[in-house]
Amino acid sequence: MTLAERTFVLLKPDAVQRGLVGRIVARFEARGLKLLGMKLLTVPRTLAETYYAEHRGKAFFEPLMAYITSGPVVAIVLEGEGAVAVVRKMMGKTNAAEAEPGTIRGDFALTIGRNVIHGSDGLESAKREIGLFFKADELRAYTRIDEAWLDE
Catalytic annotation, residues: 118
Residues 6+ away with beta carbon under 8 Å from 31: 80, 86, 90
Distance of CA 136 to the CA centre of its chain: 18
Q: What angle do CA 68, 71, 72 make, to 5 degrees?
A: 95
The neighbour count for residue 17, using CB atoms within 10 Å, is 12
